[in-house]
């Protein structure tokens, strides 16, 4: 009887610890959201990105900049400039809502009070939730070496510095995430 209970406890703990330590597979650059690249002419492109629901607006802007650099390099250019586009000037960050959590019941009917009787100022603190996913759009104009204005971004430099953070090679190719290895010694 005792051996059966111990065996069941060990099997249950092995199952739970196996689920808890299994890492999730990281997302590739193409899986971070929905991209749209529309060529407007030979050197002008419209880049748009709709982020996943749990992504901040700043991260979405950074990913759109990396996508613009990738598009620039893959089309044979080195530099790009974000044009003054009315959609960029009037674009607002995604809507956020403030959530007030419901209070947990305390013993003896205390509401918003610590179980020992004093007021806890950090209990039931409101927090912000993004209501809609971030959407960012840029119209870029691409340039070759020697033709770029002074305010142009260097696409190769962006891919070298930020590309690896999002799983891109310096040439703009999407890198596949490496499988997690475990060292059993």
Look-up of token digits 């613009």: 68
Residue 58's nearest CA partner among 95, 93, 30 is: 93
What pLDDT does 39 receive?
94
Give the pLDDT of residue 72: 94
Q: Give the model's pLDDT for residue 84.
A: 67
Contact 70, 159 (CB under 8 A): yes
Structure token digits, residue 158: 């962006």
Torsion angles phi and psi, residue 22, rounded to 5: -75, 115
CB hemisphere CA count around 150 (13 angstroms): 0
What pLDDT shows up at residue 113?
53
Residue 77: its pLDDT value, please? 95
Report pLDDT for 47.
93
Percentage of residues in the chain with pLDDT exceeding 90?
29
Q: Quick one: pLDDT at residue 93? A: 67
d(CA 26, CA 176): 9
Q: Which residues contact 126 (CB under 8 A, 6 or more apart)?
A: 98, 99, 100, 101
Give the chain's mean pLDDT.
77
Residue 89 has pLDDT above 70, yes or no: no
Instruction: Indicate the range of 28-42, 60-74, 94-108, 136-150 predicted with least confidence.
Output: 94-108
> Which residues have CB under 8 Å from 174's CB, separation 6+?
28, 29, 30, 167, 168
């Amino acid at each position: 009887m005792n051996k059966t209970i111990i065996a069941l406890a060990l099997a249950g703990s092995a199952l739970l610890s196996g689920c808890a330590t299994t890492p999730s597979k990281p997302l590739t650059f193409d899986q971070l959201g929905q991209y749209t690249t529309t060529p407007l002419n030979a050197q002008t492109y419209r880049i748009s990105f709709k982020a996943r629901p749990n992504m901040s607006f700043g991260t979405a802007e950074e990913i759109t900049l990396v996508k613009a650099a990738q598009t620039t390099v893959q089309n044979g250019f080195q530099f790009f400039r974000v044009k003054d586009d009315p959609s960029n000037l009037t674009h607002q960050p995604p809507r956020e809502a403030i959530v007030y959590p419901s209070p947990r019941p305390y013993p003896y009917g205390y509401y918003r009070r610590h179980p020992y009787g004093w007021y806890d100022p950090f209990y039931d603190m409101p927090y912000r939730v993004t209501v809609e996913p971030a959407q960012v759009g840029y119209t870029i104009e691409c340039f070759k070496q020697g033709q770029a204005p002074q305010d142009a971004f260097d696409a190769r430099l962006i891919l070298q510095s930020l590309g690896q953070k999002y799983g891109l090679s310096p040439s703009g190719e999407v890198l596949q995430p490496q499988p997690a290895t475990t060292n059993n010694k």
